[in-house]
């Protein structure tokens, strides 16, 4: 049996989460390993949540929020952008590039959501298992 | 040219003693101890036989300006640049009520760790001290790699001049107020400074391999001393005090059921990674974490590299300025076009 990556996604409930629901109602398929966590805003996600997911078994983590300028709370996703960018910089310093992603997906972009997630699963499949798992 | 008060240690001492005459005024600085070493002390009565240079680094003094919330005390303080930078960060993080504090940074010539061999006597003069520490290989890693030894931070700076005098330069309104009755004021050229600072390099901070990190942190016992002694790690409710991030007790059995193998202590690297991220915007690479580590893990290397990289990304310098907003509390609409995937 091949390696099926486990992906944890933190989805903003105003956009990406709606898109994932719409993907369901449109019968669009995305890989089974993707587990979705609904958050009130992408800026709710502290990078410690992302790191914890990586240590507790996820092979990749993504944060999905509204496109810049379209945040329900006006500016939440601008903060997310800085944080996740900094987190990626940190992971680059520590030799763990490519396992954390940031997507902008609006509520109507079900297809984009499915494309992005499928793409990510393929990339992580190439990267292989997460070396951090289990501490 | 730099404009400031040209004075000497004795006159400065008298001026600070004069400041203590005021009601509820205190001084925080370094004092010689009876055993020949130097310690930090908070005082409100003369005599103030303080020293400007403390060759020993065992903790970051900014920790003690934390949560002094009583607005009635005025405190003047002479600390090292890395400590003052941490203090500046703490004011921005709302952990210090800075209105009544005047914190000056003093030129630093390097420090030694109390964990290693401590020579019985140390040279008197600042420059001789720096030379001595460097030649004997006693400099702490953090000091050896420090590019910010000048007293250029906080409310003002105390700079050593090559003639043996001191130059006091105010940087903020509070610093100017403090020095208002002091003199004589003079213009001094940077050539007269005793401290020769290494030129600022624009070299990329190093990156590491995961195997390297695993090896370095393999001896970690998760005592969390590094967190407790870090001037920036101020949270009262730390993530790592609950069971969510560091499972213990029954959580371990749940984890065992899920994972079949549980290495202990669990999540050592997670702890350090989360800390690295959380202090990244404000880390001044003072090395207090490393001093606190009972297992002698070279923490400063990793924390300095990761924080420098993140601060560079946002063109920010921890502790450089009271006014500049913290990178994670601000944003520009048209930045980081390559942040999303």
Tell me, what's the pLDDT at B121?
86
What's residue A56's pLDDT? 86
Phi (first) and psi of residue B79, to 5 degrees? -130, 175
The first and second tokens of residue A95, run together, are 């030799």
Instruction: Print the SS3 string covering B98-134.
Output: HHHEEEEEECCCCCEECCCCCCCCCCCCHHHHHHHHH
Task: Give the one of B239, B273, B313 whose C-beta lies nearest to A86's C-beta.
Answer: B313
Per-residue pLDDT tens digits for A20-73: 999 999 999 999 999 999 999 999 999 999 999 999 889 999 999 999 999 999
> How far B251 CA sits from the closest chain A CA (Å)?
13
pLDDT of residue B201: 72
Mean pLDDT of A83-95: 91
- Encode pLDDT of B206-226 as tens digits: 889 989 999 999 999 999 999
Contact (CB, 8 A) for B6 and B184: yes
Q: ipTM of this model?
A: 0.94
B314 interaction partners in chain A (CB closer than 8 Å): 82, 86
The per-residue pLDDT for B266 is 86
pLDDT at site B68: 85
What are the extents of the domains in chain B? Answer: 2-192, 210-329
How far is the C-alpha of B179 from the C-alpha of B6, rounded, in Å? 11
Q: Does A129 touch chain B (CB under 8 A)?
A: no
Burial zone of B197 (CB within 10 Å; 0-12 exposed, 13-18 middle, 19+ buried): middle
Q: C-alpha angle A48/A53/A56, rounded to 5°?
A: 120
Write down the pLDDT at residue A82. Answer: 94
C-alpha A66/C-alpha B189 separation (Å) is 53
Q: Are B1 and B193 in contact (CB under 8 A)?
A: no
Q: Where are the domains of chain A?
A: 7-127
A7-127 folds as: Rossmann fold (3.40.50)
CA distance B163 to B168: 15
Q: In chain A, positions 45-104, which contact chain B (CB-CB < 8 Å)? A: 47-48, 51-52, 55, 57, 62, 68-69, 75, 78-79, 81-87, 89-90, 92-96, 101-104
From first to last of the 341 residues of chain B, give the pLDDT tens digit.
899 999 999 999 999 999 999 999 999 999 999 888 899 999 999 889 999 999 999 999 999 998 888 888 999 999 999 999 999 999 999 998 878 899 999 999 999 998 888 888 888 889 999 999 999 999 999 999 998 899 999 999 999 999 889 999 999 999 999 999 998 999 999 899 998 877 777 788 888 998 999 999 999 999 999 999 999 999 989 999 877 788 888 888 988 888 888 888 888 999 999 999 999 999 999 999 999 999 999 999 999 999 999 999 999 999 999 999 999 999 999 998 888 88
Q: Is B280 in a helix, a strand, or coil?
A: coil
3-state secondary structure of B35: coil
When pLDDT is cut at 50, 70 and 90, the band that residue A134 belongs to is low
Question: What integer pLDDT is reported at residue A1 of this predicted model?
Answer: 59
Q: For residues B163 and A120, which has the higher predicted lDDT (pLDDT)?
A: A120
Rounded to two decimals, the pTM is: 0.93
Confirm or reject contact between B252 and chain A (CB < 8 A). no
pLDDT of residue B258: 83
Give the model confidence (pLDDT) of A106-115 as tens digits.
999 999 999 9
- Interchain proximity A86–B327, CB inside 8 Å: yes
Q: What is the pLDDT of residue A135?
A: 60
Q: In what order do the strands lie in the sheet with A7-12?
A: A34-39, A7-12, A60-65, A100-104
pLDDT digits (tens, 9 = 90+) for B52-96: 999 999 999 999 998 888 888 999 999 999 999 999 999 999 998
């Amino acid at each position: 049996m091949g390696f099926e990556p486990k992906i944890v996604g933190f989805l903003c409930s105003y956009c990406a989460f709606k898109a994932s629901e719409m993907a369901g109602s449109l019968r669009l398929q995305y890989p089974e390993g993707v587990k979705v966590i609904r958050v009130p805003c992408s800026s709710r996600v502290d990078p410690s949540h992302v790191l914890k997911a990586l240590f507790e078994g996820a092979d990749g983590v993504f944060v999905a929020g509204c496109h810049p300028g379209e945040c329900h709370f006006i500016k939440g996703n601008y903060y997310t952008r800085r944080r996740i960018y900094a987190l990626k910089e940190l992971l680059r310093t520590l030799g763990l590039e490519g396992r954390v992603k940031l997507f902008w997906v609006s509520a109507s972009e079900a297809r984009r959501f499915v494309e992005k997630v499928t793409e990510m699963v393929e990339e992580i499949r190439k990267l292989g298992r997460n070396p951090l798992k289990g501490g | 040219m730099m404009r400031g008060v040209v004075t000497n240690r004795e006159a400065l001492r008298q001026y600070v003693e004069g400041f203590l005459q005021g009601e509820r005024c205190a001084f925080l600085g370094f004092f010689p101890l009876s055993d020949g070493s130097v310690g930090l002390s908070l005082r409100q009565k003369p005599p103030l036989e303080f020293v400007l240079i403390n060759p020993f680094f065992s903790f970051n003094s900014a920790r003690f300006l934390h949560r002094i919330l009583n607005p009635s005390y005025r405190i003047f303080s002479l600390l090292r640049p890395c400590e003052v930078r941490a203090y500046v960060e703490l004011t921005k993080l709302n952990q210090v009520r800075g209105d009544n504090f005047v914190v000056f940074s003093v030129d630093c010539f390097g420090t030694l760790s109390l964990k290693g061999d401590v020579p019985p006597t140390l040279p008197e003069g600042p420059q001789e001290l720096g030379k001595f520490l460097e030649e004997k290989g006693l400099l702490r890693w953090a000091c050896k790699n420090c590019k910010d030894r000048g007293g250029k931070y906080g409310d003002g700076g105390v700079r050593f001049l090559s003639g043996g005098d001191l130059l006091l330069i105010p940087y903020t309104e509070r610093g100017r107020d403090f020095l208002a009755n002091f003199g004589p004021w003079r213009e001094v050229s940077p050539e007269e400074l005793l401290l020769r600072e290494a030129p600022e390099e624009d070299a990329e901070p190093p990156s590491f391999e995961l195997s390297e990190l695993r090896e370095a942190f393999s001896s970690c016992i998760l005592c969390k001393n590094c967190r407790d002694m870090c001037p920036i790690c101020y949270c009262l409710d730390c993530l790592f005090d609950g069971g969510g991030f560091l499972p213990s007790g029954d959580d371990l059995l749940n984890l065992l059921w899920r994972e079949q193998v549980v290495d202990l202590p669990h999540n050592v690297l997670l702890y350090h990674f989360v800390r690295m991220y959380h202090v990244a915007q404000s880390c001044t690479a003072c090395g207090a974490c490393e001093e606190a580590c009972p297992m002698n893990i070279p923490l400063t290397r990793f924390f300095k590299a990761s924080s420098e990289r993140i601060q560079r990304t946002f063109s920010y310098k921890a502790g450089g300025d009271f006014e500049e907003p913290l990178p994670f509390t601000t944003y520009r609409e048209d930045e980081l076009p390559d942040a999303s995937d």
